[in-house]
Amino acid sequence: MRLVIIGAGFAGMYAALSAARLRDVQGVSPEELEIALVAPEPTLVVRPRLYEQKPETLTAPLLDVFKAIDVVYVQGSAETVDTKSRAVHIASLDGAKKLSYDRLVVATGSKLFRPNIPGLAEHGFAVDSIDDAVALDKHLHGLARRPALNGRDTVVVAGGGFTGIEAATEMPARLREILGKNAKPRVVIIERNPAIAPDMGDEARPVIEAALRKLGVETLLGTGVASLDASGVTLSSGEHIEAETVVWAAGIRAAPLTQQIPAERDNFGRLLVDRDLRVPGVAGVFATGDAARAACDDDGNYALMSCQHATRMGAFAGNNAAAELLGVPTKPYHQKGYVTCLDLGEAGALFTTGWERKVAMVDDVAKKTKREINTVWIYPPKAERAAALASADPPHVSDVSGFL
């Protein structure tokens, strides 16, 4: 029997760990149940940190973890999934491969959505993938070699959601470090909605607004980016802002592989899944993390495209796919608690609890928690078999109930 997982992000990593855990608990050997994980690299890209400096350091190796838990790593990118014959076709560095499966977990994550705005592809930067973040960092360092004219010291961030706010609030300190402590960087967030952080709610938003004021980050609300060129951005209002750096952070979509699964998807391209994270109507296929839209409780809340949800959904999907093959009961995915921890650069951070986003911590206290999340909690477990397997018992993964 073979369980194939596609993707080595937060969801894929925990799908592999939890499937291997259940196999171990059931006393089944890796020969009887093979768990294979397909990804271009055996590396976790720590996406939640990609707005930081030194982005090239923001990955964590997974090969030794996989070896320790007897998960077979298959290098490559899944190009097509044939759900009728239950096979994945993979493009890899050593040619095309075909991997048949008894159960499949689609954990292919998400990608920044770049709309067809004139100039965006040529002039827009991003903090979505490691390549995006490294290109932005290289560009920012390159600014120091140019004259301080026109828009050199101006950064426009398109999108005032969580990613845009984290990128923008980090930018003044990042630019001063590159351009010199006397530099006076200008950072502007463009947000289509009439309020910054549209999802944040009225209790938490003032904390963000105060942080932006403190850092001198400007906001232009109720307007969108109409076009980009080498000199900067033109807004839908007709206003032009000279800026040598424009960071696009205005929305993500599920990675394209979800389109290969003949099933219903939401507006973000996520596969609709049942409580076991199975894709209804497609035999043997589960979806998880940013690739899936799952109910996380009985109160009408759905998992967000977040690391917090992806990690736990991964653990349930891997467990359940293995459970079906091992003939043991599945565990319905549930995630009652929800917290948000938003980095606000030199203005600290904001920690909220619950779907209504009640403010629980601000300033340095929240910043300490954000550092802990970003440098410890979201990293893979050590490559030690017992500890790694123990870390993946689904009900205990990404359990934030201690904060609620």
Ligand X SMILES: Cc1cc2nc3c(=O)[nH]c(=O)nc-3n(C[C@H](O)[C@H](O)[C@H](O)COP(=O)(O)OP(=O)(O)OC[C@H]3O[C@@H](n4cnc5c(N)ncnc54)[C@H](O)[C@@H]3O)c2cc1C
Does 11 bind ligand X (CB under 6 A)? Our answer is: yes
Does 39 bind ligand X (CB under 6 A)? Our answer is: yes
Nearer to ligand X, 68 or 307 (CB): 307
Helix (H, G, I), strand (E, B) or coil at 334: coil
From its phi and psi, is residue 161 left (phi > 0), alpha (psi between -120 and 50) or beta? beta
Return all residues near 2 (Cβ < 8 A) that are at least 6 apart: 33, 34, 35, 36, 99, 100, 101, 102
Choices 45-53, 150-158, 272-280, 326-334; region in contact with ligand X by CB under 6 A? 45-53
- The residue within the footprint of ligand X, chosen from 35, 38, 285, 325 (CB under 6 A), is 38
> Binders of ligand X: how many residues, by CB under 6 A?
33
Residues 229-258 touching ligand X, rule: CB under 6 A, are 255, 257
Choices 1-9, 203-211, 263-271, 352-360; region in contact with ligand X by CB under 6 A? 1-9
77: DSSP letter: E
Return all residues near 212 (Cβ < 8 A) that are at least 6 apart: 165, 168, 169, 189, 196, 218, 219, 347
Choices 43-51, 96-104, 134-142, 328-336; region in contact with ligand X by CB under 6 A? 43-51
Residues 291-310 touching ligand X, rule: CB under 6 A, are 305-308, 310
Which residue's CB comes closest to ligand X? 9
End-to-end CA, the chain = 41
37: DSSP letter: E
Does 151 bind ligand X (CB under 6 A)? Our answer is: no
Report CA-CA distances (Å) from 69 to 57, 72, 139, 316, 394.
25, 9, 40, 17, 16
Minimum distance, C-beta of residue 10 to ligand X, in the bound complex (Å): 4
Does 4 bind ligand X (CB under 6 A)? Our answer is: no
Residues 154-213 touching ligand X, rule: CB under 6 A, are 163, 166
The H-assigned helical ranges of 190-306 are 205-215
381: DSSP letter: P
Nearer to ligand X, 294 or 326 (CB): 294
Q: Applying CB under 6 A, which residues contact ligand X?
A: 6-12, 38-40, 47-48, 50-51, 77-78, 107-110, 127-128, 163, 166, 255, 257, 289-290, 305-308, 310
